Chains A and B, each alone.
Chain A
Amino acid sequence: MSSFADYFRNNEAGNTNRNKTSAVIAKERLQILVAYDRMARDRPSYLPSLKQEILDVIRKYVNVDLASVSVRYEQEGNQEILELNIVLPENAGRVLEAALENN
């Protein structure tokens, strides 16, 4: 018979955090969160609208949602890298072809 107590005892997250105080967990979470926030802050402010416009263009051909477009921005020295990643749905190839033919 397993109980809630067993579940929490055996649960992986529970195990890794077992010996940590809640303050230590809070600090670790904050360090990650703040690092992420700061990275986001340094990105050019046009990224969200760039993402939206790219999405609008793609949507003319394939039905994708915002979550399937990812924009990564990195700065290395004086070089800026913008990486776009669009995950198309499974049958996108056919849909895209059909759309192009119809146009």
Chain B
Amino acid sequence: MAKIVVITSGKGGVGKTTTAAAMGMGLAMLGHRTVVIDFDVGLRNLDLIMGCERRVVYDFVNVINGEANLNQALIRDKRCDKLYILPASQTRDKNALTKDGVGQVLEDLGRSYEYVICDSPAGIEHGAMMAMYYADDAIVVTNPEVASVRDSDRMLGILSSKSKRAETDAEPIIEHLLLTRYSPERVVRGEMLSVTDVQEILSLKLLGVIPESQAVLNASNAGVPVILDAESDAGRAYQDTVLRFTGKEVPFRFIEAGKRGFLGRLFGG
């Protein structure tokens, strides 16, 4: 059975889709058969971030409604043959995602993939509920900012009470904190919550810290997941994050200001 991983946050615009694309690509590059599903019905953009928007024929809702089968709807990534994308519908309303329908698709995918990454829409409405319901793991994407941290905490409450695992008294969802748009310089100046601040408030295991980076916009302009930009700080931070997710011990980079300082030079960072 595949591991079902939801990328969630509560608050909008914090970097979920960026993360879903990076995690999907990263896991696939490590050789794992991976599919990324866009749950943002009506506002799909995973296909844009992945650069496959012109190849969308059928979507998630078509599959649920039996208008297309999975193989017709899945788009294979042109850069990595272990990676597939299941796009969201652009037109339907969110209620087209039924609990049974989603469950059936996940079960079918589970037979041939190792990882199913669910890119959640913002908020705590139906679409977000469907994205997290069947999850084994949750990556809670958080910006170091009050509203985002608060919403992440609310999402944690939902994961532990409204998910299938909660409802059936199974092992709880494994929750990971991914801090994105982090700016060490601003933390040093006392203008931004630090990694430890956020971790203390949410008491979550830290999976990764992605710096605020120009590379993210460049990558989305080009339709290339930022993890493929190995020269960039954000790209490398996502690579570390994927490795950690697969159980490797990787030291945290990009969480201290002034990489070119004494320590930075000493360690060649």
Q: Which residues of A contact B (CB under 8 A)?
A: 21-24, 26-27, 29-31, 33-34, 37-38, 41
B201 touches A37 (CB 8 A): no
Specify the chain B residue showing the minimal Cβ separation from A33: B150
Query: Within 8 Å CB of B187, what residues of A?
Result: 23
Chain B interface helix/strand/loop/mixed:
helix
Q: Which of A24, A26, A41 has the most CB of B within 10 A?
A: A26
- Per the bound structure, the CA–CA distance linking A31 and B200 in Å amounts to 9
CB of B108 closer than 8 Å to a CB of A: no
- Per the bound structure, the CA–CA distance linking A26 and B148 in Å amounts to 12
Contact segment of B36-44, B87-95, B190-198 = B190-198
- Per the bound structure, the CA–CA distance linking A15 and B161 in Å amounts to 42
B146 touches A38 (CB 8 A): no
A-B contact pairs, 13 of them (CB 8 A): A21-B189, A21-B190, A23-B190, A23-B194, A26-B145, A26-B197, A29-B146, A34-B153, A37-B150, A37-B153, A37-B157, A41-B157, A41-B161
Which one of B150, B190, B194, B201 contacts A22 once the chains associate, using CB atoms below 8 Å?
Answer: B190
Closest 9 CB pairs of A and B: A21-B190, A41-B157, A27-B197, A23-B190, A34-B153, A30-B201, A26-B146, A23-B193, A30-B149
Chain A interface helix/strand/loop/mixed:
helix
CB of B154 closer than 8 Å to a CB of A: yes
A30 touches B150 (CB 8 A): yes
Specify the chain A residue showing the minimal Cβ separation from B201: A30
Chain B interface category by residue count: 10 to 19
B154 touches A37 (CB 8 A): yes
Query: Within 8 Å CB of B192, what residues of A?
Result: 23
Specify the chain B residue showing the minimal Cβ separation from A31: B201
- Per the bound structure, the CA–CA distance linking A35 and B201 in Å amounts to 9
Query: Within 8 Å CB of A41, what residues of B?
Result: 157, 161
- Per the bound structure, the CA–CA distance linking A23 and B188 in Å amounts to 10
- Per the bound structure, the CA–CA distance linking A41 and B192 in Å amounts to 27
- Per the bound structure, the CA–CA distance linking A40 and B117 in Å amounts to 31
- Per the bound structure, the CA–CA distance linking A1 and B191 in Å amounts to 33
Give B135-158 interface residues, CB cut-off 8 Å to A.
145-146, 149-150, 153-154, 157
Expressed in whole angstroms, the minimum distance between the Cβ of A47 and any Cβ of chain B is 15
Which one of B153, B189, B193, B200 contacts A38 once the chains associate, using CB atoms below 8 Å?
Answer: B153
